């Protein structure tokens, strides 16, 4: 029996995983940088 | 090169370069995603799944580029004791691991309709999975050294030894008979049709700029933490 797969399901899944993963990575890194630099400024006082 | 070893000089450059890399990376990546989803044509053999290539190629490239960054920074750390080298290596580890995982996932999602299976234990896929485990080991080791105060040379040596896996990944499709196809893009040219090649080039450039911005942001975070901790220790000694 030949399996029928909707190729678009795989395409959408791949794009969703990469977009969500990349946005999380960029957002987390940016936030961690801002928090660490704010902490450094507070230790100057 | 030692001129950039000065953290103050590094911060002066990184303050404008970090948002510049992230914004230009986001714009190019978004353009590549829109092209890949809505404008790229279906391919004769792969059909619609060829669109996954616009994400799979940049993510696997950055998985390998991440460890190459760790290896180069580790070499500089071991040989010249460059003060920012250990920070650069540590900063590249998490984004490198993230893109390695995304490369494995997109490859697996592409493999199901194209090969009829989510996974095969062939040379390329197995060596790339080993790369992910090496990242996990490096992240744990570098984190432990930073917390417990050990020598930064320990993760640097691990970074250099782990680099042996990079040529194995690259040449695996040439050395062994594998399910994975040979390289589509090389120094001598490409086997891709132009309508796919340009989309892949823009995507690789966009994701690479994002990777650079993320590494710089993480370097700034590590540097700020180190400087804040040093100040708090000094204040405690003075009190």
Q: Do residues B36 and B55 make contact, with C-beta atoms less than 8 angstroms apart?
A: yes
Average pLDDT, chain B: 92
- Closest approach of chain A CAs to the CA of B161, in angstroms? 27
Domain count, chain B: 1
pLDDT, mean of residues A26-33: 98
Tell whether the model's pLDDT for residue B104 goes beyond 90: yes
Chain B hits for A45, CB-CB cut-off 8 Å, are: none
- Using CB atoms, pick whichever of A7, A17, A42 lies closest to residue B105: A17
ipTM of the complex in this document: 0.91
User: Is residue B188 domain-resident?
Assistant: no
**Residue of A3, A10, A16 to mutate, interface with B, max B Cβ within 10 Å:** A10
In a domain, B8, yes or no: no
Residue A7 is nearest to which of B22, B33, B48, comparing CB atoms? B48
B156 burial type by CB count under 10 A (0-12 exposed, 13-18 middle, 19+ buried): buried
What integer pLDDT is reported at residue A1 of this predicted model? 46
B11: Cα separation from own chain's centroid: 22
Range of the domain at B28: 16-37+47-182+195-238
pLDDT digits (tens, 9 = 90+) for B64-95: 999 999 999 999 999 998 889 999 999 999 99
Among B37, B38, B106, B206, the strongest candidate for a mutation testing the A interface, having the largest count of A CBs within 10 A, is B106
Task: Find the mean pLDDT for residues B231-238.
Answer: 88
Least reliable range by pLDDT among B63-72, B89-98, B100-109, B111-120: B111-120
Domain ranges within chain A, ordered by starting residue? 16-45
Of residues B123 and A16, more confidence is placed in A16
Instruction: Using CB atoms, pick whichever of B37, B52, B231 lies closest to residue A43.
Output: B231
Residue B58 sits in a domain whose CATH number is 1.20.120
Contacts of A33 in chain B (CB under 8 A): 18, 217-218, 220-221, 224
DSSP, residue by residue, B165-225: HHHHHHHHHHHS--SSPPPSEETTEE-S-HHHHHHHHHHHHHHHHHHHHHHHHHHHHHHHH
pLDDT per residue as tens digits for the range B143-197: 999 988 888 899 999 999 999 999 999 988 888 877 777 777 776 777 778 888 8
Q: How sure is the predictor about A45, in pLDDT bands with cuts at 50, 70 and 90?
A: confident
pLDDT at position B152: 86
Q: Which of B211, B219, B221 is nearest to B73 (CA)?
A: B219
> DSSP characters for B21-75?
HHHHHHHHHHHHHHIIIIISPPBTTTBGGGGGHHHHHHHHHHHHHHHHHHHHHHH
Q: Which of A6-15, B183-192, B193-202 has the lowest mean pLDDT?
A: B183-192
- Number of Cβ pairs < 8 A linking chain A and chain B: 101
Mean local confidence (pLDDT), B111-120: 92
Tell which wins on pLDDT, B5 or A25: A25
Q: Quick one: pLDDT at residue B150?
A: 82
Is the model more confident about B44 or about A14?
A14
Q: Which residues contact B111 (CB under 8 A, 6 or more apart)?
A: B117, B118, B119, B120
Q: Is residue B3 part of a domain?
A: no
B131-144 mean pLDDT: 97
pLDDT value at residue B4 = 58
Q: Which of A1, A6, A7, A28 would you mutate first to test chain B, the one with the most B CBs within 10 A? A: A7
Phi, psi dihedral angles at B91 (to 5 degrees): -70, -30
User: What integer is the mean pLDDT of B20-31?
Assistant: 98
């Amino acid at each position: 029996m030949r399996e029928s797969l909707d190729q678009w399901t795989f395409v959408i899944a791949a794009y969703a995983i990469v977009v969500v993963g990349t946005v999380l990575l960029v957002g987390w890194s940016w936030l961690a940088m801002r928090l660490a630099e704010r902490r450094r400024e507070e230790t100057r006082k | 090169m030692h001129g950039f070893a000065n953290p103050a000089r590094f911060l002066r450059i990184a303050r404008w370069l970090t948002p510049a890399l992230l914004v230009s990376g986001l714009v190019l990546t978004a353009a590549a995603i829109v092209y890949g989803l809505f404008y790229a044509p279906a391919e004769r053999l792969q059909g619609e799944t060829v669109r996954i290539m616009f994400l799979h190629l940049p993510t696997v490239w950055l998985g390998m580029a991440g460890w190459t960054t760790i290896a180069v920074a580790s070499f500089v750390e071991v040989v010249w004791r460059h003060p920012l080298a250990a920070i650069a290596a540590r900063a590249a580890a998490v984004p490198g691991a993230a893109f390695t995982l995304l490369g494995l996932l997109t490859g697996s999602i592409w493999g199901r309709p194209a090969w009829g299976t989510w996974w095969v234990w062939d040379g390329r896929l197995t060596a790339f999975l080993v790369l992910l485990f090496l990242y996990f080991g490096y992240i744990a080791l570098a984190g432990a050294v930073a917390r417990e105060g050990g020598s930064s040379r320990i993760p640097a040596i691990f970074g250099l030894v782990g680099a042996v896996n990079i040529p194995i990944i690259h040449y695996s499709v040439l050395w062994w008979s594998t399910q994975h196809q040979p390289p589509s893009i090389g120094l001598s040219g490409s086997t891709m049709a132009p309508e796919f090649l340009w989309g892949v080039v823009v995507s690789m450039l966009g994701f690479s700029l994002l990777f650079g911005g993320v590494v710089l942001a993480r370097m700034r975070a590590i540097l700020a933490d180190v400087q804040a901790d040093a100040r708090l220790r000094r204040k405690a000694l003075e009190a």
